[in-house]
Structure 1
Amino acid sequence: MMHTYCIIFVFQLLSLSGAMESGIVDGKKVKPHSRPYMASLQVDGSHKCGGMLIREDFVLTAAHCKLPQQMMVVLGAQDITKKEKSQQRIQVKYHPYPKYKKGQYDNDIMLLEMTLFSFTVKKNATLNKYVKTIGLPKKDEKIPDNIQCAVAGWGRKGKKNLPSHILRETMEKTQSSNECTKTYGKDFKADHMICTAFTKKKGGFCQGDSGGPLICNNKLQGIIAFTAKDCNDPKYPHGSIKIQAFLPWMKKVMQGSGDTA
């Protein structure tokens, strides 16, 4: 996206990229504040990943978005280059899934707990028409194949891959797990991942959109996680983390008994 700092993980089968540091390829601009749960995760004012506000004090994102620097959650944003009156900026404490390993996508999920004063005091988001939470899927909810799902994020647009500072969205279609297994082999874990396809005409998610939402049938189902190195090649399906597989762990963390990093 706007800066050169990025994290890219490489597998033997294909070069897979955590979707950091650029964004939705093509797509369309989101109607201002029509996705009030969206979060921009930033370091020193630079957008690094997306996320979703799931409770007044927790944002859900991808574990590979964890950086050594202090990260700020920006809520209520449409144009991330501006200090809009609708925006809320809050520090966060990292809660990556304990079994996540850098360079792997199987457990690529993280909760961000909003804090103040060197992480010792809780800080809730102020819910209003610009900032709202999004509901989580049910534990046993099925995700059918061949349904359209929305993805959203801040990032590049058009054939020239120029950066877009405005939130954008597009659609991808769920595929059978076999489709991703054919492409990514054992790196694709059907129990924890969702496979989606896209077209060059409509575009799809790319580096920079990690941690953002995969919304199917108007319900949050996944966390944008990985693509092949060429994220705009429809031959290679995209991968998202299946949220429902991690609901028990999320509950523990949000009750104050989970791991912290």
Structure 2
Amino acid sequence: MLLSVCILLSVFSLSGGLESRIVGGREVKPHSRPYMVSLQYKRQHKCGGMLIKDDYVLTSAHCLDKTTNYLEVVLGAHNISQNEKSQQIIQVEKYIPHRNYTRNDFTYDIMLLKLKTKAVLNEFVDVIELPENNEDIPARVECSIAGWGMEKPGGEASTVLLEVSLKLQFSFECKNRWRNYFNSEKMICSISNGKRAFCQGDSGSPLFCDSKLQGMAAYTDPANCTSKKYPEVYMKISAFLPWILKNIKRL
């Protein structure tokens, strides 16, 4: 089992498989999720994210690579292939990955982006409400996640925002498969039904359960996003609240 996990991790590092996209989703009502962020490099979608303050975005630390000096944050978008009047494009002033994050340990796969200018909040762009406390989330709860990307493994990325519904699983199911790469205190687990999942390109997108923000897409099997063998993993945002608030107040 450990060998299988190591092989998957090597694929992540070589192919960027940690980036994720929505598979089997449905189109979201335009601008019904005004906190959604598309992180782009040369106008190409790279990762998802969420606006948590008018000048801060929360996303995945593994989205940080050699291209990040050129990343732009696109807010107020529905169709990212068009120059919608609702869109606001803002450059990143500072990247703040968790200091404990490494490419070989995803326990702290979380990052803040300080924007060069503040977003203009309106009906198309708004901040998302963070969880209030670090509480346990029961398994089998119905959740949803949205993002821009492939509608099937190996397919073309979607130009419009898609969302997919899924149910959380017991943490031990992720622990059994991912072993030491899954931390039940800082991560959330779900398993694809073979048809719906997140996949390459949507890392950093928010996970909602019972209409409350709970997690953020982190990693899955890069070879087959809809695999029932390897569960999908999300960062548990409430576990990082002290870190988030400390860094926002510091700058």
TM-score normalized by structure 2? Answer: 0.90
Kept after mapping to 2: 8 A contact 1:106/1:189: yes
> 5 Å matches for 1:28-39?
28-39=26-37
Q: Pairwise CA RMSD of aligned residues? A: 1.7
Q: Give 1:90's aligned residue.
A: 90
Q: 1:176 aligns with which of 170, 173, 186?
A: 170
Mapping 1:202-221, distance limit 5 Å: 203-221=196-214
Question: Hey, what's the Cα distance between the residues in 2 that align with 1:159 and 1:206?
Answer: 7
Residue matched to 2:181: 187
In 2, Cα distance between equivalents of 1:162 and 1:91: 26
Measured after TM superposition, the shift of residue 198 of structure 1 is 2.3
> How far apart, in 2, do the equivalents of 1:75 and 1:161 lie?
25
Q: Any conservation in 2 of the 1:149–1:171 contact (CA below 8 Å)?
A: yes
Task: Judge conservation of contact 1:174–1:196 (CA < 8 Å) in 2.
Answer: yes
Structure 1 position 159, deviation (Å)? 7.1
Paired with 1:31 and 1:76, the residues of 2 have a C-alpha distance of: 13
In structure 2, the CA distance between the partners of 1:76 and 1:62, relative to structure 1 (3 Å rule), is same
* Structure 1 position 191, deviation (Å): 1.0
SS at match of 2:233: strand
Deviation at 1:140, TM superposition (A): 2.8
1:47 to 41, 45, 50: 45
Q: Partner residue of 1:102?
A: 103
Task: From the superposition, tell whether residues 159 and 11 of structure 1 become closer, same or farther in structure 2 (CA, over 3 Å).
Answer: closer
State how far apart, in whole Å, the 2-side matches of 1:28 and 1:189 are. Answer: 30
Match of 2:216 among 219, 223, 230: 223
Is residue 2:142 matched to residue 1:141?
no
How many Å apart are 1:163 and its aligned residue? 2.2
Match of 2:125 in 1: 131
User: How far 1:67 moved relative to its partner?
Assistant: 2.4
The one-letter amino acid of 1:30's match is V
Tell me the CA shift for residue 236 of structure 1. 1.6
Q: Which protein is richer in helix relative to its size?
A: 2
Q: How far is 1:11 from its partner?
A: 4.3
SS of the residue corresponding to residue 177 of structure 2 reads helix
Q: Do the aligned partners of 2:150 and 2:200 also contact (CA within 8 Å) in 1?
A: no
Q: Distance in 2 between matches of 1:190 and 1:140?
A: 12
Distance 1:35 1:19, change over 3 A: farther
- How many residues are paired up? 239
User: Which residue, 250, 255, 259 being the options, matches 2:249?
Assistant: 255
Kept after mapping to 2: 8 A contact 1:14/1:184: no
C-alpha distance after superposition, 1:105-151 (max 9, x if no partner): 11000001101xxxxxxx11111010011111122323111101111
Q: Which residue of 1 aligns with 2:79?
A: 79
Q: 1:189 to 1:160 in 2, by over 3 A?
A: closer
| Cα deviations by residue, 1:18-49 (Å, 9 ceiling, x for unpaired) | 542x6211210111001110000011111100
- Aligned position for 1:6: none
Distance 2:161 2:138 in 1: 27
